[in-house]
Chain A
Amino acid sequence: MTTGPPMMAMLESYLKLSASREQAISANMANIDTPGYRTRDINLESEFNKVMSGALRSSEDGAEPVQLTPVFHLVQGLMERPDGNNVSLDHEGLMLAKTQLQYQLAIQLIQNHFHQTLSAINGGS
């Protein structure tokens, strides 16, 4: 139907990236009182684009699928406390809510995709 990477591969890698981000946010929240800890995060959209363009290339060559190794960067622009820690409660809470919703979105689309395929198999019953 469409050219480009298949829907399932897209959704699956998006899901994995959301889970990676959630892990980073959990680590940030856990270290809110650790002196010298810097907030880290991944840029979901750019990582997704990287994976997708890699997937396109590999699907053309027939090479191995691209491994997911998201790059963690230190978040800039956060206020630093005297002990060197710059984790912000509000920022992490917001990012967590956003990531949760992104994860839910991907799950819902995957479910939808499977339902459609199943209904096609079952002949519309």
Chain B
Amino acid sequence: MSNVVTGLGSIGTISPLPKLPSLQPGEGQGGFGAVLSSALHHLNQLSGGAEQQVGNLLKGVGGDVSSVMIAVEKADTAFQMMMQVRNKIVSAYQDIEKMQF
């Protein structure tokens, strides 16, 4: 009987929980935010470049029709993708909002 009691006594100290990497305020946000803003910047560049190419085509100065059309389509596709990313972000945010603790 005493063995059982002594057995209980020698459990020892509880090992501490594994240490989580300390979360600096704004760090995680910064990483994703930087990606997002650079993508937006790239999209801006694409559509600005496409607009300029169209202007040149209409003025008769530069470019041929096919390259201008491709540039416009690229900008369009980038825009569509950005729309979808934005939708995903919004729905993810809404999912988080719905979480109850």
A contacts B directly (C-beta below 8 A): yes
Segment with Cβ contacts to B, from A57-65, A84-92, A115-123: A115-123
The 8 closest A-B pairs by CB, nearest first: A124-B83, A45-B60, A2-B48, A2-B51, A14-B58, A1-B48, A124-B87, A49-B59
Residues of A within 8 A of B59 (CB): 45, 48-49, 52
In the complex, the chain A residue whose C-beta lies closest to that of B60 is A45
Classify chain B's interface size: 20 to 34
Query: Which residues between 94 and 125 of chain A lie within 8 Å of chain B, taking CB atoms?
Result: 105-106, 109, 112, 116, 119-120, 123-124
Give A55 to B47 CA distance when docked, in angstroms. 22
In the complex, the chain B residue whose C-beta lies closest to that of A44 is B60
Segment with Cβ contacts to A, from B4-12, B13-21, B72-80: B72-80
Contact flags (1/0) for A5-38 with B, using CB distance below 8 Å? 0010011001000000000000000000000000
Q: Which of B47, B60, B87 has the most CB of A within 10 A?
A: B60
Q: Could you name 9 residue pairs across A and B whose Cβ atoms are closer than 8 Å?
A: A10-B55, A11-B58, A48-B60, A106-B58, A109-B72, A112-B76, A119-B83, A120-B83, A124-B84
A4 within 8 A of B: yes
Interface residues of A (CB under 8 A from B): 1-2, 4, 7, 10-11, 14, 44-45, 48-49, 52, 105-106, 109, 112, 116, 119-120, 123-124
A116 touches B51 (CB 8 A): no
Residues of B within 8 A of A4 (CB): 55
Residues of A within 8 A of B60 (CB): 44-45, 48
Taking the nearest CB of chain A, how far is it from the CB of B50, in angstroms? 9
B80 touches A109 (CB 8 A): no
B76 touches A124 (CB 8 A): no
